[in-house]
Structure 1
Amino acid sequence: MQTDAGGQSAAVAAPSVSESIASPADLYGSLFKHVQLRRIFADGKSFVDAVPRRPAEEIVRHYHANPPRDDAALRAFVERNFIVPLEGANDPGQSIKAAKPLIEHIQSLWDQLARPPVVPVAGSSALAFEGRHVVPGGRFREIYYWDSYFTMLGLKIDRRDDLIQGMVNGFVRLVESHGHVPNGARSYYLSRSQPPFLYLMMDLSTEDDVQVQSQRLDALLVEHAYWMQGGRVQTLPDGSTLNRYWDDRSTPRDESYREDVKTARTSSRPATEVYRHLRAGAESGWDFSSRWFADGRTRSTIDTTAIIPVDLNSLLYGLERAIAKRCKDARRNCDDRFNQAADRRRAAIERWLWNEREGRYGDFDTQTGRIRDGLTAATTYPLFTRLASPDRAARIAETVRARLIAPGGLRTRWGGCRPPQTALRCARIVELGPLSGKDGNRVKRYNDRRGLGKVRVSASCSVNDRPTQVSEKDSAFSLRRIYGSATVGGDRDGSMWQCALLGPGNDPAWPRGQTYRTTLC
């Protein structure tokens, strides 16, 4: 990847090859729709992850020449023509017979969930991934973007720099190949990305080769350009620009086709509009939080693209600062440009995404022209990226203490918790007053990079000496509650973005026995 004299990557202006890569819906047409809408497989990901036994054109031709007469015949046709992944076959929990202490359980999962470089079969949905990497587990057989940052935090603690290097290098190659890091390493994820954590992943890498660092800076420049074009950019009333989640397609998601069609049918809006909002919600990583629902309750009211989210814009602020620093370190003439971009973004966030009355950051609704109601843990992203002023940080600390901290951890919103949200929030919660109440613990000063909070965060296994399962999501009100399923809710054992966040703790305020809290807080 070449750069011009100003440090801008020449690849930024190049057309993305992603548009030329067909998804399963593109390749298999009516066969794809028939399989997904008839729910031939319980999990919509099964068919889209299947590997064809012969060229796609030949499979489609045979399908149209002799259409299966019923569901049984259709399934038989698919199994003759595809290698369909077995449900649960990739779940590491299946291979763990005896319960172990949690840390041993996590460490045993690294190699079980590590995968070699991916060389895709023609006609399959897999994307090439050059590095050895860790997958989430369960139905998620491929590497995912923002999940991987939290996995890397755990890898760093366990000194698995080999896997960190492979994953960072693989993501850089995805940027070089596709113009961005897709949601996950599948063709059906290419139309969207996920929260931009690549610059933070690079900070976890021990790589110091000058040429590699230059290549990584190029990748960050390309990623930034991806976010600053097309539907992901929004202009505010004063002319400033911020970003939103988006997806370049407005069709049902390949992996959730039937579910998306059903959601659109219950909405009064055009189906394509609903599909775009659903896809953008998936790009956010908060799929599907009530944060994106117009009525706060119903998925069919989702309006993600009408929202300018505080988390995304805080991360892009961090990306711009990181690029500026790397430009300066590399002696490229681009540090001033990105520092100025970060300054403009910070000013826009402080003006449009701050709610003075409630003492919180929030998401701006472009339809109503005001910040959305409802406090979420996204309010602390400006702390994580060190954007918030000390005064506003203190306001957030008090708001979080009063409204989001509950027995068992930090709520994402009300009633539930997703691990990445929890970890980021408590990693940079400022403290100009007590956060933990009775014990009077205080996090260190906001401008101290080692000042990590004392907010306690738990998983479903937090109070068990020998847990048998780590759930992806957990209720903040019941430490032992596990809900959902691998095929419906996505909760699963071996969800490495959860496991990687957990480290040993010895807090006497917790129940007796071995206890855990996140490595960040």
Structure 2
Amino acid sequence: MSNQLYINEIQALFDAVQKSRIFEDQKMMTDAVPLFFIAEINAKYEQQKDSEGFDLKSFVMTHFDFLGAKVSVQREDHLPIVQHIEKLWDELTRIAYEEKGTLLKLPKPYIVPGGRFNEFFYWDSYFIMLGLQVSGRVEMMENIVENCSYLIQNVGFVPNASRTHFLSRSQPPYFSLMLELLVETTHNEAIYTQYHDSLEKEYAFWMSGEEELENNSSIKRVVKTIDGDIVNRYYDAENTPRPESYLIDIEDRENALGDEFYRNIRSACESGWDFSSRWFADGEHIQTIETLNLAEVDLNCLLWHLETTLTKSSALQNLKEKENYFTERAAKRRQMINKYFWDEKTKMYRDYHSKKNTNTPSEHIAALYPLFLGIADQEQAEAMAKVISEKFLYQGGLVTTTKKSGQQWDLPNAWAPYQWLGFKAMKNYGFNELAGKIKDNWCFNVERVYKNTGKLMEKYNALDTETIAGGGEYPNQDGFGWTNGVYLKLQQN
């Protein structure tokens, strides 16, 4: 299957629909399911498009199904928040046993985030699993793992989400953490060996091209530094506008520099942070996006976890050669995380700019990963706890960056994943009071918005707890998978 097979087949019609803005949300058309054979729809469109009185929206509505394009879940009977979440698990459950339009088939049921997101998302699903664990829904946790493994085996990696136009990129590699969570829940270490082959395949995807690298060069997701070390970056195989944000990308491209603007945009999407000043050369404007020049602290920490998990699964099978190989890779990665991402001057973790051989100026919450995974030493953790307390923690939770740019992954927004990462990171190093503040500030914010609106949101405003969060390419969404999961998990701790 090509990366955008379905979109390519209706390219002329798709282009016309997106450029005419007949839908407020560009994602609508990417999610549409054709009601007739594509060839038939295309022939009718070519035949009718120039005729007098042709109505594009009417044509599209006649030839495509938009059912289920948006999930909005209202509170019933003023249920307490935990009971509401328990009901949400069922309402956000989907099946896709066959392909429909852009939707990929998956062998098991899954949980969608909610709102405009009506498909399986990779890194969201880990944070959803945290809540499923609390709810005792072990079978759905197993389903999520099985779906990820299926995608790795059949596609070569877990795509950003389960749609054809996401087959050019992944998302932060959480599969090994999903397995760890499932092992913790079931007390069954055989899970590691069961999915060993999928772990290896995912690792091969992220490390593809490393043998061909020369110093100070990059291929796909691997970067060889000026010192000859290999670190990883986010990357996308395509350099075209994103179908789900087609017109936005075309308009943003107009004043951008360089010929890889679209790939830089897409590569930032692989991080899950679409978008943030973290990626901008000038820290302000999306036209200066330079994701491809960066190696990221979060990605490299997650790959360290993948390497340590592969060490464990190899040892369980008595695969000595592989165990030694992944032990060495993990040890080297740990060393490189401190070499390339720890900034001694400011006493915090930052991304690495491979072209400038220096850390980037952006202060962002992904700096928590070395503490979340236990890679930092105590001294580094103490310095990071001070930074988190002074620069990132507000009355409504942890913000993602210290810069207000209007992008949704910047100040003042607080996102569920980083409340869990922050809480766990502080607990790991004995900063229990700070961990408690992170938990209480964000959970209170979630409860306040739920009380006022009956909704659980995709993100929250950490500074102004009288409002709901905003910014970015689309309105704040309700549902919402990872908020539900993290809220339940924090309440249990």
Scaled by the length of structure 2, the TM-score of the pair is 0.89
- The structural deviation recorded for 1:207 is 6.1
Counterpart CA distance in 2 for 1:34 and 1:70 is 17
Could you tell me which residue of structure 2 aligns to residue 228 of structure 1? Answer: 207
Match of 2:486 in 1: 501
Counterparts of 1:71 and 1:210 in 2: how far apart (Å)? Answer: 65
Partner of 1:479: 465
Q: Give the structure 2 partner of residue 518 of structure 1.
A: 490
* Per-residue deviation, residues 171-219 of structure 1 (Å, max 9, x unmatched): 1101111000000000011100000001111122256889865441111
Matches of 1:57 and 1:404 in 2, distance apart? 53
Deviation at 1:46, TM superposition (A): 1.1
Q: In structure 2, what is the Cα distance between the partners aligned to 1:432 and 1:417?
A: 22
1:237 equivalent in structure 2 = 226
* Matches for 1:283-302 after TM superposition, within 5 Å: 283-302=270-289
Question: Residues 429 and 453 of structure 1 are in contact (CA less than 8 Å); yes or no, is this contact kept in structure 2?
Answer: no
Q: 150, 153, 175: which one pairs with 1:173?
A: 150
The aligned counterpart of 2:73 is 92
User: 1:454 & 1:483 partners in 2: Cα distance?
Assistant: 18
Deviation of 1:86 (Å): 5.8
Equivalent residue of 1:458, what SS?
helix
1:461 CA displacement: 3.0
Aligned to 1:103: 82
Higher helix share: 2
What SS does the corresponding residue of 2:231 show, helix, strand or coil? strand
- Change beyond 3 A, Cα 1:21–1:489: closer
> Equivalences for 1:351-500 in 2 at 5 Å?
351-414=339-402, 415-429=412-426, 441=433, 456-458=440-442, 460-463=445-448, 466-467=451-452, 468-484=454-470, 488-500=473-485
Aligned to 2:65: 83
Contact (CA 8 Å) 2:460, 2:468: kept in 1 or not? yes
Query: Could you say if the C-alpha distance between residues 200 and 453 of structure 1 is closer, same or farther in structure 2, counting changes exceeding 3 Å?
Result: farther
| Between 325-334 and 423-432, the greater mean CA deviation after superposition | 423-432
Q: Superposition RMSD on alpha carbons, in Å?
A: 2.5
Instruction: State the Cα distance separating 1:76 from its structure 2 match.
Output: 2.1
CA distance in 2, matches of 1:86, 1:262: 28
Contact (CA 8 Å) 2:179, 2:191: kept in 1 or not?
Answer: no
Q: Which amino acid aligns with 1:169?
A: E
Instruction: Pick from 126, 131, 146 the counterpart of residue 149 of structure 1.
Output: 126
Q: 1:41 aligns with which of 23, 33, 43?
A: 23
Matching residue within 101, 113, 125 for 1:136: 113
Structure 1 distance, partners of 2:281, 2:119, is 32
Shift of 1:344: 1.2
CA separation of 1:53 and 1:433: change in aligned 2, threshold 3 A: closer
In structure 2, relative to structure 1, the CA distance for the partners of 1:211 and 1:498 (3 Å cut) is closer
The letter for the 2-side match of 1:37 is: K
- Match of residue 267, structure 1, among 256, 261, 266: 256
Q: Give 1:117 shift.
A: 4.0
Distance in 2 (alpha carbons) for counterparts of 1:520 and 1:396: 25
Q: Does the C-alpha gap of structure 1 residues 203 and 490 become closer, same or farther in structure 2, counting only changes over 3 Å?
A: farther
Query: Which region of structure 1 is more displaced relative to structure 2, 454-463 or 410-419?
Result: 454-463
Q: Is residue 52 of structure 1 aligned with residue 34 of structure 2?
A: yes
Q: Which amino acid aligns with 1:420?
A: P
User: What pairs up with 1:249-328 in 2 under 5 angstroms?
Assistant: 249-270=238-259, 273-328=260-315
**Secondary structure at 2:223 match in 1:** strand
Contact 1:40–1:71 under 8 Å retained in 2: no
Equivalent in 297, 322, 346 of residue 334 of structure 2: 346
Alpha-carbon distance change, 113 to 79 in structure 1, aligned in 2, over 3 angstroms = same
Shift of 1:289: 1.3
Distance (Å, rounded) in 1 between the aligned partners of 2:279 and 2:246 = 20
C-alpha contact (below 8 Å) 2:149/2:195 kept by paired residues: yes
Tell me, in whole angstroms, the C-alpha distance in 2 between the residues paired with 1:413 and 1:112. 33
Report the CA distance between 1:84 and its aligned residue. 2.2
Tell me whether 466-475 or 107-116 shows the greater mean CA deviation. 466-475
Q: 1:458–1:479: 8 Å Cα contact kept in structure 2?
A: no
Distance 1:500 1:201 in 2: 13
Deviation at 1:61, TM superposition (A): 2.6
Please state how far the C-alpha of 1:442 moved relative to its aligned partner.
Answer: 6.4
Give the equivalent residue in structure 1 for 2:6: 24
CA distance in 2 between partners of 1:500 and 1:126 (Å): 24
After TM superposition, the score normalised by the length of structure 1 is 0.84
The one-letter amino acid of 2:221's match is R
Secondary structure at the aligned position of 2:99 is classed as coil
**1:38–1:71 Cα contact (<8 Å) kept:** no
8 Å CA contact 2:341, 2:350 repeated in 1 = yes
Amino acid at match of 1:113: L
Q: Deviations over 1:107-138 (max 9, x none)?
A: 110101111243113xx101011111111111
The answer to whether the 8 Å contact 1:165/1:207 transfers is: no
Query: Secondary structure at 1:387's aligned position in 2?
Result: coil
- TM-superposed deviation, 1:367: 3.0
Distance in 1 of aligned mates of 2:341 and 2:473? 34
8 Å CA contact retained: 2:374, 2:428: no
Aligned partner of 2:140 in structure 1 is 163
Distance 2:113 2:7 in 1: 24
Q: How many Å separate the matches in 2 of 1:56 and 1:153?
A: 40
